[in-house]
Chains A and B, each alone.
Chain A
Amino acid sequence: MEEALLSELVAHDEITNSFEFAQHLNKSHQELASAISSLSMDEFIIAEHREQLVPELTDKGKEFVREGSPEVIVYNYVLNNPGVSQAQIQTTLGEVGKFGFSQAMKNKWIGIDKETKLVNVTVDHVDDTVKLQLEAFQRNEEVKIDELRKRKLIDNVKRSYFVIRKGPNFAPHRQKPEAELTYDMVRTGNWKTTTFKEYNFNAKGKYPAGGHLHPLLKVRAQVRNILLDMGFEEMPTNTFVVSSFWNFDALFQPQAHPARDAHDTFFIKSPEFANDFEDDYRQRVQEVHERGGYESIGFRYKWSIDDARKNVLRTHTTANSSKMLYKLAQNGFKPKKYFSIDRVFRNETLDATHLAEFHQIEGVVADRNIGLADLIGIIAEFFRRMGITDIKFKPAYNPYTEPSMEIFGYHPILKKWTEIGNSGVFRPEMLRPMGLPEDVNVLGWGLSLERPTMIQYSIGNIRDLFGSKLELSGIQSNPICRFKTDE
């Protein structure tokens, strides 16, 4: 059909009436219309919609063609039933009988005996001229239709058709464009003659079925890389439960310290107590709390071993760092740079910025004759690699470091100064009881993993980052983590 339409346009440039063209092709106009619409879409042709009034068989006319005209039906009935009554004709033939009777009478094909009132034919043979005329009309032959109109066998109806001309993409032949390059095309070489459907580059592609890593752990990987690049050695931190001794006492945090309140710390009911520290070290720790030593006056209170043995969920990874430093002292001191990134727990009420657990990043440097200047230097280097170059330090209080500094950074994403971490030089009261030599200082700094991640990915609510309430679609669409540095 498309081919016929295109070749007609090649021959005549225009098809003035698509309806007539369909008749000419002996196809329905509906069929042609779908070809027209498809060709118009690709602008092979331009089709203008038009309407015209044309005579067409009415339902009654169509019935005449199908059944014959009523007068012929009546004539045939009478011919086969001579001497039938008029009433009988109408009973048998119904509406057709009533209508055909009067027309057959008018045509003088039948007559009524005046005496008996019986009906008989008056001619031997009749032609169904009405039906023939209607059939001729259907065949588009020249027919006088006035009489047929009067009898409501033909009436005018509205008809849609198209005037068709060549479009901007007109070509004598059209191939339907293909969406895909297929195995068959490659095999047969059909791709050479195939036209391909144009892509819609405004739509997105199909999402691959692969998996995805979690945003927080992507940031963890980058921070790990930074610390490894800087020569730091990872500490074992896979112990969520620790004794208060390692979490607090070893860090010279007095037993009445507010942080040791049940408000802030998860205490363990079962197993309630630990035995994870050696007695001679315990004695030195107790001594430094109660009476001082190593040039310190201590806290001067009664230290309780029962408090120290209480298990807690660690409130900081420094609980693990203290174990590492103790071990380092036992094994003969060597300069070390340690780090860890792992979960810590705080007995907090949850809100948009606080969770009961979060990840702490911690760096520790132990060496002879180092101090605050080295801490400042190494922190600056660490944050430079995280993309934060402007930093400043504020004096702070931390029970186990002295001096202590809060770290503030001008954040390139937030475009303001913000606290980015905490740091300090571990107190001698913590280090000396471990057995670390007097000229050894230990520097430490820490920050949460969540905060830089929230800034990196503009996440406002921490619960959208960590926990079972976060949306998988967020993990799926989360970009790579790369800290933009000035290098």
Chain B
Amino acid sequence: MPTVTVAREDLYRELGVTMTDQEFEDLCFEYGIELDDITSEKEIVRKEKGEEAARGLDETILYKIEVAANRYDLLCLEGLAQSLRVFLGRDETPLFRLLPTIPTEVATITSATQGVRPYFVCAILRNLHFTPTSYKSFIDLQDKLHQNIGRKRTLVAIGTHDYDTIRGPFTYTAKETSEIKFKALNQTEEYTAEQLFEIYRKDNRMKKYVAIIENSPVTPIIYDSQGIVLSMPPIINGDHSKITLNTKNVFIDITACDLTKAHVTLHTIIAAFSQYCTEKFTVEPVKVIDPEGREHVCPRMDERDVEVDINYVNKLIGTNLSPDKACTLLNKMSLRSTEEGNKIKVRVPITRSDILHPCDIAEDVGIAYGYNNIEKRVPQVTTIAKQQPLNHLSDLLRAEVAQAGFIEVLTFALVSFEENYDKLRRERDGLAVEISNPKTFEFQIPRTTLLPGLLKTLSSNKKFPLPIKIFELSDAVVKDENAGNGTRNVRMLSALHSNTSAGFEVVHGLLDIVMEKLGFSFPGDYHLVPCEDPTFFPGRQAQIFSHGKKVGIMGIIHPEVLKNFELKYPVSALEIDFELLSTLIRI
């Protein structure tokens, strides 16, 4: 979940009310956000770098607030305070409007962009008055939007410009890197795009943005009518049009691979910062001409009307509200609503891109009503409990194996190739499912045998008095061409015995108990056949057969395997394909 950091005093000033930390925390709980931490810049640095580094830093109290991942409108102080003011009944949901309603400015998208970053939207905020706080918030919001809805600028990238330094009409196009040359933000001289890529590849913060675009034959670029570069999305803006605290008119450009997200991003910025315009909550539109020559007015400012049946809401939430009451509650949630008989007509503002379906409206009724005020109800339907047969059988047998003197362990399903094969002296047989991107190096495959986990358990329990008897009954995973996803789980039972001597007879005895408890008799239902598995000691191993099927193997673990798992004492092991065996049970 994304986190927004705001100064406590700024928040209470914006809310127009002061609360204790606890009161604010309770408000967050009710509204569905979370006061994650109360801290200060000094405190944050102190925790990370120590007392010395923190000396003299700002001690202003900060709230770190976690917001829902689909509420982009809450990603800055302005949006958060707006929503909470309305929730607290201290303000009304603003009505955003275009001013003027007909665009005078123009931007054109060329077809060159269509293969690389096809969407472009823009707008102008007129007569803004930034304060140091709101200016910082403006920059922070762009960063948050880049990270969240923009998926680290892969889907959406934002550029903001001092409109007074540039002149339309604007062109969003794409060119070869060698054809692009401009002075990028915070650079002292002009470079070609090629040179800039080179510079940014060495910059830890910037290199990931270069990676988004560098394999494309053309690079997106935005020009004004004089050939001045506004932005080279999604990497960097031009230095010429950079905004400052004194900027009065802001041109916002947004390029994207997802048009819906481009509009949401633009709306989010407008909704949060148009309040600082001389004409509050207004935005100047731009006529955007797409490569097919179609004209669009940007931003759309398309508020949507949704009709919701009160019965639907009451059923979904479990309330018994009148349409009137529901409207009151929805208005608290920044959703302007009016009743029409049993219907509630909701105007979804541009800030609420999270509303996709009437169920989203119903949820807001629930939140405003208070989840904890909803009366508990237990569903009346009678259903009959049932266990999965394999799980039921597994539990029955786990108890038997424990009663036979074995301690149950539970090891990770994920192991390395080395543990699953090499250390067991087994050939890599291609049966293992392979993970492409593990963060932890050794999680390369789901195990195909439980033995590595059990041997590792022995290895980390060298202080435990001998003899050690352990077992695990869990799933392994193997490739299976007949399965829809090409894999299947296999429930396995594995057990180890370790002592000053290997004690083959101990695991052999366990096999007999397991078979006996499952109703198999010896030698009619199962028998042993000598085998040559390199995991086990030659001549001290056997495969277990039941009704013509190989259901398992047991033997004395090979001393080289012991060495590979850093074990000193001999070990004997039993491993059964429990899933296969369970199909042969006749009791």
Binding site for B on A (CB under 8 A): 209-214, 216-217, 221, 224, 227-243, 256, 258, 262-263, 266-277, 292, 294-301, 311, 313, 335-337, 343, 345, 347-350, 355-357, 365, 367, 369-374, 376-378, 380-381, 392-397, 399, 402-405, 425, 427-429, 441, 466-473, 475-476
Indicate if the CB atoms of A211 and B485 lie closer than 8 Å. no
**Of A213, A301, A345, A469, most B-chain CB atoms within 10 Å:** A213
Given A241-B487, A467-B411, does the pair A270, B379 have CB atoms closer than 8 Å? no
Indicate if the CB atoms of B381 and A402 lie closer than 8 Å. no
Indicate if the CB atoms of A427 and B359 lie closer than 8 Å. yes
Indicate if the CB atoms of A371 and B435 lie closer than 8 Å. no
Indicate if the CB atoms of B376 and A210 lie closer than 8 Å. no
Given A348-B439, A468-B453, does the pair A241, B446 have CB atoms closer than 8 Å? yes
Indicate if the CB atoms of A276 and B485 lie closer than 8 Å. yes
27 contacts between A and B (CB under 8 A): A213-B398, A214-B408, A232-B385, A234-B388, A235-B388, A258-B151, A263-B439, A268-B487, A271-B485, A271-B486, A272-B436, A274-B484, A300-B260, A313-B414, A348-B439, A356-B412, A357-B412, A371-B318, A372-B318, A372-B374, A373-B374, A373-B377, A374-B318, A395-B366, A396-B32, A468-B456, A473-B464
Closest B residue to A233 by beta carbon equals B386
The one of A233, A238, A294, A365 in contact with B489, judged by C-beta atoms closer than 8 angstroms, is A238
Indicate if the CB atoms of B409 and A470 lie closer than 8 Å. yes
Indicate if the CB atoms of B376 and A276 lie closer than 8 Å. no
**Of A236, A239, A294, most B-chain CB atoms within 10 Å:** A239
Chain A neighbourhood of B487, CB < 8 A = 239-241, 268, 271, 311
Chain A neighbourhood of B151, CB < 8 A = 256, 258
* A171–B459 CA distance with the chains assembled, in angstroms: 58
A335 CB to closest chain B CB (Å) equals 4
The one of B356, B386, B443 in contact with A266, judged by C-beta atoms closer than 8 angstroms, is B443
Chain B neighbourhood of A233, CB < 8 A = 383-386
Indicate if the CB atoms of A472 and B457 lie closer than 8 Å. yes
User: Does B475 make an interface contact (CB < 8 A)?
Assistant: yes
Chain A neighbourhood of B433, CB < 8 A = 241, 268, 270-271
Indicate if the CB atoms of A298 and B372 lie closer than 8 Å. no
* A372–B354 CA distance with the chains assembled, in angstroms: 20
B373 CB to closest chain A CB (Å) equals 10
* A217–B470 CA distance with the chains assembled, in angstroms: 15
Indicate if the CB atoms of B379 and A365 lie closer than 8 Å. yes
Indicate if the CB atoms of A239 and B488 lie closer than 8 Å. yes
* A217–B375 CA distance with the chains assembled, in angstroms: 34
* A274–B412 CA distance with the chains assembled, in angstroms: 24
Listed from nearest, the 6 A-B pairs whose CB atoms lie closest are: A373-B318, A395-B32, A276-B484, A271-B486, A397-B68, A274-B485
Those of B406-426 within 8 Å (CB) of chain A: 406-414
User: Does B469 make an interface contact (CB < 8 A)?
Assistant: yes
Chain B neighbourhood of A372, CB < 8 A = 316-318, 366, 371, 374
* A397–B356 CA distance with the chains assembled, in angstroms: 14
* A337–B385 CA distance with the chains assembled, in angstroms: 8
Closest B residue to A439 by beta carbon equals B315
Indicate if the CB atoms of B435 and A267 lie closer than 8 Å. yes
Indicate if the CB atoms of B407 and A475 lie closer than 8 Å. yes
* A355–B412 CA distance with the chains assembled, in angstroms: 9
**Of B358, B363, B379, B414, most A-chain CB atoms within 10 Å:** B379
User: Does B520 make an interface contact (CB < 8 A)?
Assistant: no
Given A292-B356, A357-B414, A470-B409, does the pair A403, B258 have CB atoms closer than 8 Å? no
Those of B337-361 within 8 Å (CB) of chain A: 354, 356-360
Instruction: Given A335-B379, A350-B440, output 20 extra A-B contacts at Cβ < 8 Å.
Output: A212-B402, A238-B475, A241-B446, A241-B477, A258-B151, A270-B433, A271-B485, A301-B258, A347-B439, A371-B317, A372-B374, A376-B376, A392-B29, A395-B367, A397-B70, A402-B357, A403-B367, A466-B412, A472-B464, A475-B407
Binding site for A on B (CB under 8 A): 1, 29-32, 34, 68-71, 148, 151, 155, 258-261, 304, 315-319, 354, 356-360, 362-363, 366-367, 371-372, 374-379, 381-388, 390-391, 395, 398-399, 401-414, 433-440, 443, 446, 453-454, 456-457, 459-461, 464, 468-471, 475, 477, 479, 483-489, 491
Indicate if the CB atoms of A300 and B485 lie closer than 8 Å. no
**Of A212, A336, A392, A476, most B-chain CB atoms within 10 Å:** A212
Chain A neighbourhood of B399, CB < 8 A = 213
A472 CB to closest chain B CB (Å) equals 5
A395 CB to closest chain B CB (Å) equals 3
Chain B neighbourhood of A343, CB < 8 A = 413, 475
Chain B neighbourhood of A212, CB < 8 A = 402, 407-408
* A345–B415 CA distance with the chains assembled, in angstroms: 13
Indicate if the CB atoms of B383 and A393 lie closer than 8 Å. no
The one of A295, A336, A367 in contact with B357, judged by C-beta atoms closer than 8 angstroms, is A295
Indicate if the CB atoms of B438 and A377 lie closer than 8 Å. no
B491 CB to closest chain A CB (Å) equals 7
Closest A residue to B365 by beta carbon equals A403
Indicate if the CB atoms of B378 and A374 lie closer than 8 Å. yes
Chain B neighbourhood of A429, CB < 8 A = 356-357
* A370–B383 CA distance with the chains assembled, in angstroms: 15
Closest A residue to B457 by beta carbon equals A468
Indicate if the CB atoms of A267 and B437 lie closer than 8 Å. yes
* A337–B401 CA distance with the chains assembled, in angstroms: 32
Indicate if the CB atoms of B69 and A425 lie closer than 8 Å. no
A280 CB to closest chain B CB (Å) equals 16
The one of B386, B461, B464, B489 in contact with A234, judged by C-beta atoms closer than 8 angstroms, is B386
The one of B359, B405, B435 in contact with A402, judged by C-beta atoms closer than 8 angstroms, is B359
* A177–B91 CA distance with the chains assembled, in angstroms: 91
* A405–B438 CA distance with the chains assembled, in angstroms: 31
Chain B neighbourhood of A230, CB < 8 A = 385
A444 CB to closest chain B CB (Å) equals 13
Given A267-B437, A343-B413, does the pair A336, B383 have CB atoms closer than 8 Å? yes
B484 CB to closest chain A CB (Å) equals 3
Chain A neighbourhood of B315, CB < 8 A = 369, 371, 441
Indicate if the CB atoms of B32 and A469 lie closer than 8 Å. no
A135 CB to closest chain B CB (Å) equals 61
Closest A residue to B486 by beta carbon equals A271
The one of B359, B413, B461 in contact with A357, judged by C-beta atoms closer than 8 angstroms, is B413
Closest B residue to A231 by beta carbon equals B383
Chain A neighbourhood of B30, CB < 8 A = 394-395
Indicate if the CB atoms of B437 and A211 lie closer than 8 Å. no
Chain B neighbourhood of A425, CB < 8 A = 316, 359
Chain B neighbourhood of A277, CB < 8 A = 484
Closest A residue to B354 by beta carbon equals A397
B394 CB to closest chain A CB (Å) equals 10
Indicate if the CB atoms of B484 and A210 lie closer than 8 Å. no
Closest B residue to A347 by beta carbon equals B439
Chain A neighbourhood of B440, CB < 8 A = 349-350, 356
Indicate if the CB atoms of B395 and A373 lie closer than 8 Å. no
Closest B residue to A236 by beta carbon equals B388
Given A268-B433, A268-B436, A395-B363, does the pair A377, B379 have CB atoms closer than 8 Å? yes
Indicate if the CB atoms of B485 and A238 lie closer than 8 Å. no
Indicate if the CB atoms of A403 and B363 lie closer than 8 Å. yes
**Of B374, B405, B413, B460, most A-chain CB atoms within 10 Å:** B374
Indicate if the CB atoms of A397 and B69 lie closer than 8 Å. yes
Indicate if the CB atoms of A392 and B372 lie closer than 8 Å. yes
Given A377-B376, A377-B377, does the pair A243, B413 have CB atoms closer than 8 Å? no
Indicate if the CB atoms of B437 and A266 lie closer than 8 Å. yes
* A356–B415 CA distance with the chains assembled, in angstroms: 11
The one of B32, B362, B377 in contact with A394, judged by C-beta atoms closer than 8 angstroms, is B32
* A181–B340 CA distance with the chains assembled, in angstroms: 91
Indicate if the CB atoms of B385 and A231 lie closer than 8 Å. yes
Chain B neighbourhood of A367, CB < 8 A = 379, 381
Chain A neighbourhood of B384, CB < 8 A = 231, 233
* A335–B475 CA distance with the chains assembled, in angstroms: 30
B509 CB to closest chain A CB (Å) equals 13
The one of B148, B359, B383 in contact with A403, judged by C-beta atoms closer than 8 angstroms, is B359
Chain A neighbourhood of B488, CB < 8 A = 239
The one of A380, A405, A472 in contact with B409, judged by C-beta atoms closer than 8 angstroms, is A472
